[in-house]
Structures are given as structure tokens and as C-alpha cells.
Amino acid sequence: MHIPDGFLDPFWIMVTYAATIAYAVVAWSKIKGRLTQEQIISVSVLAASIFVAQMLNWPLPGGTSLHFVGGALAGILFGPWLGFYIMALVLAVQTLVFHDGGITALGANIFNMAVVDVVIGYYLYRAATRAISETRKARLTGAFLGGWLGIVLAGLAAGIEIGLSPSFPYGVEVSVPVMVTWHAVLGVIEGLITALVVDYLYQRHSPIVEAAAKVTVHATA
Amino acid sequence: MAGLLGRYRGALLAVAVLLILSPVFGVVLAEKVGYHEPLDVAAEKLGLEEHPIVEWTPFSDYTVPGLPDTIGYIVAGAIGVAVILGIGLVAARLTKQ
């Protein structure tokens, strides 16, 4: 889902950079001075794990492929503000060190995967754990739904951005159905992985869960 | 400071295992089966083409100059992990306990 250089027109480059910077400023104001060394180390370990997980591309029959994105996972564990910085770090390293995603599209890529995916994952998970109470079943359900819908809506956002960029007048009518349909199908795997990882981390009482539980910025979401 | 990472031995071990396995999924299978994300499919239908502005990194597409793609993929991944953990360690150092 990493948009390369050349796909976005200048208007959408500016809009997506502006939206991402605005979110980054708000997110920074929410987390500034509230994190411990332990929590920072914990989020960097999660970021490194997501970075490597994204390297595992799964080619599928029919000529398409997917890889785990992890935005919902970051949001579920660390909330919408810190989750944003986890994914933004991953995406910035991918772009600046490995040219994975364009520099002109970095604003859009961060918006799609570090804002949309993270926020949707976080709120769906919270809704499920509130509705079913904080049980293992609720965590699995919420994480699956968050992982699935997060990636579908991130795909929708990318489809709108690239669909509205070319002078081709009906771009969105082409790009949005392709992106949403494929991600609705492939997103099931993202949802399953998100649910299994969240469940595993909670069942094992991982230090990542421990650090995340102490992050007080969730409450101000 | 790096001792703080000690608590995450399990996660870092999983990262190392995934790194070693990564060329199977990121290089070998990708070359055999083909690698087209939905974004590539949508872009093709729209007639969009990638136009890199400038090549700013020697590790483009997770390659390392002089290394075969499979080994280079692992080394590139290790570089990425080191950069992310390094940024985390520096940020933690700058944070008051």
C-alpha cells in the first residue's frame, strides 16, 4: 500500500502532507513529556517488529499479494497518538532508507497507515472490549475487526488519493472499488494476524502490553 | 541503556527469525509468483506510472550493493531494525526517567 513518487498530483501531495503534519502536531501534544524510557524502548521494539513483518510479502494466486501492515496493532496496543508515531517511524525508515514509498507520497502513506489504520483499529478494539467487556473473546473480536476494517479504510483512502490525482476524470470510480474490494478480502488475513498477535501478547503478559497499559494518553483520545 | 532491550529478548528473537525467513517471502516467492499489490492493480488501470524523483539511498528496495538479493534482503532488514531501535534508544536517553 506504499504509494510511490509519480502517483499523486501536487494538490494531493500538499493535502496529505498537511493532514499528516496536523495530526502529528496534535499527537505530539498528547504524548509530550508523558512517556518513560521503558515505554519508548517498548514502542521501538514494536516498530522494529512491524517493520520486519512488512518485509514478508505473501504472493497470492491470481497475481496479487499482501503483507501485514500493522497500523491497527500499533493503535490497539498504544492508542491513536503513540500508535501514530510507531507507524510513522516505520514508514519514514522504509521511505528514507529503502525507497519503499515515494518521498512525495510520504504524507499520504503516513496518513493512510499511521492515521486511518491506527485510529480505526484503536476505536473498533475499544468498542468491542467495552461491548463484550475486557475478555479474551472481546480482545480477539476487537483486534480482528480493527485489523480488518483498518486496512480496508486505509485502502479506501489510498484509492481516493490516487483516483483523484490524474487528470483522468473517473479515476476514483476505478481505483476505489479495486482498493476496497481487494483489501476487504486480503484484510481478513491482517485481521487474523492482528488478533493472534494481540492475544499472544496478552496471554504471555508481554512487557510490550505492560508498557502499553501504563501509557496514560489513551484516556485523552 | 541498551540493557533496557533485555526485557524484549523474546520479541527480538522473533524479529531475528522473521528476518532470516524474510527472503523466502520477499524475494524468492515474489519472483516466482509475481508481486502485485492491489495498489499496483489500481494504478495500472488508471495508467499511473512510478516516477522516482531521485535515487537517494543505496539500499533501494531492500537491496545491498554487492550482495545477492536474498542475503541483501536480510542485511537490509537488519539495517532497518538497527535504525529503528537506535532511534528508540536515543529518544529514551533524551527522556528523563
pLDDT tens readout for residues A157-194: 999 999 998 765 678 999 999 999 999 998 999 999 99
CB-CB neighbors (< 8 A) of B17 in chain A: none
Q: Give the max Cα distance, chain B.
A: 53
Angle at A73 between CA B14 and CA A52, to 5 degrees: 35
CB-CB neighbors (< 8 A) of B57 in chain A: 96-99
Cβ atoms of residues B62 and B73 within 8 Å: yes
Tens of pLDDT, residues A61-114: 666 778 899 999 999 999 999 999 999 999 999 999 999 999 999 999 999 999
Question: Residue A151 pLDDT > 80, yes or no?
Answer: yes
As a whole number of Å, the end-to-end CA separation of chain A is 26
Nearest-CA distance A126 → chain B (Å):
25
What is the mean predicted confidence (pLDDT) over B56-73? 95
Tens of pLDDT, residues A75-88: 999 999 999 999 99
Query: pTM of the predicted model, to two decimals?
Result: 0.94
Per-domain residue ranges for chain B? Answer: 2-51+59-93
Query: Under an 8 A CB cutoff, do A48 and B5 touch?
Result: no
Q: What is the ipTM of this complex?
A: 0.94
Per-domain residue ranges for chain A? Answer: 10-220
Mean pLDDT computed over every residue of chain A: 92
Count CB-CB contacts under 10 A for residue B96: 6
Could you name the CATH architecture of A10-220?
Answer: Orthogonal Bundle (1.10)
